[in-house]
Amino acid sequence: TREWHLAARPHGEPTPEDFRLVEVPVPEPAEGQVVVRMVVMSVDPYMRGRMRSGPSYAPPWEVGEVMRGGAVGRVVASRAPELPEGSLVLTDAAWREVAVLDAAAVTRLPAAEDVAPSWYLGVLGMPGLTAYAGLFRVGAFREGDDVFVSGAAGAVGSLVGQFARLRGAAGVVGSAGSPEKVAWLREVGFTAAFSYRDGVARGLAEAAPDGIDLFFDNVGGEHLEAAIGAFRVHGRAALCGSISGYNAVEPPPGPRNMGLMVGKRLTLRGFLVSDHADLRPEFTETVTGWLRSGDLVVRETVHEGIEQAVPAFLDLLRGGNVGKMVVRLAPD
């Protein structure tokens, strides 16, 4: 079977040479273990951080070793009675085709015909919970808020905007990196959208001339500065990510208008989805309901085959995805 190893730590934007696809044997499972064939694996922006050494909230990948990340797989051989052959499971063991795993290291998924396995990596998985916890708990969303979402056409952002609309936002503005993405945001219920490549502050001023109450930030940098400028008094921001700086070699300069935070009495709050696992039952029930009623639009960008995992990851960092980026490794 094949798996991806980290070959080198990148300086700036990662390149294909930083990764190596390696052929390895599949070991025999021991008592209490299962053999999992991956069906679909996730590539996520936080993985750029795992290519770096040094302390971070996700442990770094080691050079010369297999990388890890979220995936949904099928048990194809089992020595654990609680996980019979054929079970669908969630693991953090992908960037490989097949893995032998302790039963305790995987989570069994319900077999629901109207739920695609890849949704457990997106709308019903980590990005979905990030959107839900970040908007409703960290950002303290209130009906009637005017909301601004950066990175709005991505996995997290496209859900944040739709969640806000479904819960009664007055307006939902999204920014993204191309006219095609902007057009799609309007289709899925954003009240306004603009391409940040034409200028963030200008785009936001045109889309939300009366200001914003809540900012969900996936991008950081210039986007955060523009939002601070556009905030009304008592504005709130949920700081989810700052992808505009992930490949930066030097830390980017901070927003130049932090002084406005005082006069506007702003609250800017960073968060990690892992601190909000207690919301999972409520999140799953609510979002499954929106999926079944057809209120929520889910979009994915799918690459095929283990060879495509690195191209998919590099493409994600450059904005080649609409919605959740995943790599399909085997049929459901």
Question: Rule CB under 6 A: which residues touch ligand NDP?
Answer: 44-46, 127, 130, 151, 153-157, 176-178, 181, 218-219, 240-241, 243-244, 271-273, 316-317, 319, 321, 325
CB of 161 to ligand NDP, least distance (A): 12
| Segments in the chain forming alpha helices (H) | 46-50, 126-132, 155-166, 179-187, 200-207, 222-230, 260-263, 280-293, 309-317
| Pairwise CA distance, residues 212 & 233, whole Å | 9
103: helix, strand or coil: helix
Q: What is the DSSP letter of 35?
A: E
The answer to whether the beta carbons of residues 263 and 235 sit under 8 Å apart is: no
- In the bound state with ligand NDP, the residue whose beta carbon lies nearer, of 174 and 235, is 174
CB of 247 to ligand NDP, least distance (A): 8
Task: Kindly give, in sequence order, each residue whose CB lies less than 8 Å from that of residue 176, ignoring residues fewer than 6 positions away.
Answer: 151, 152, 153, 154, 157, 182, 185, 193, 195, 196, 319
Least separation in angstroms between residue 33's CB and ligand NDP is: 29
Instruction: Compute the least distance from the CB of residue 262 to ligand NDP, in Å.
Output: 26
Between 20 and 137, name the residue whose CB sits nearer to ligand NDP.
137
Which residue number, 98 or 312, has a Cβ lying nearer to ligand NDP?
312
Minimum separation from the CB atom of position 44 to ligand NDP (A): 5
Closest-approach residue to ligand NDP (CB): 154
Closest CB to ligand NDP among 182 and 212? 182
| Beta carbon of residue 95, minimum distance to ligand NDP (angstroms, whole number) | 16
Instruction: Tell the smallest beta-carbon distance from residue 154 to ligand NDP (Å).
Output: 2
Please identify, using beta-carbon distances, which residue of 87 and 217 lies nearer to ligand NDP. Answer: 217
Burial class of residue 304 (count of CB atoms within 10 Å of its CB; 0-12, 13-18, 19+): exposed
Q: Which is nearer to ligand NDP, 101 or 176 (CB)?
A: 176
DSSP 86: T
Nearer of residues 5 and 50 to ligand NDP, judged by Cβ: 50
- Which 3 state secondary structure label does DSSP give 46? helix
Q: What is the DSSP string of 154-218?
A: BHHHHHHHHHHHHTT-SEEEEEESSHHHHHHHHHTT-SEEEEGGG-HHHHHHHH-TT-EEEEEES
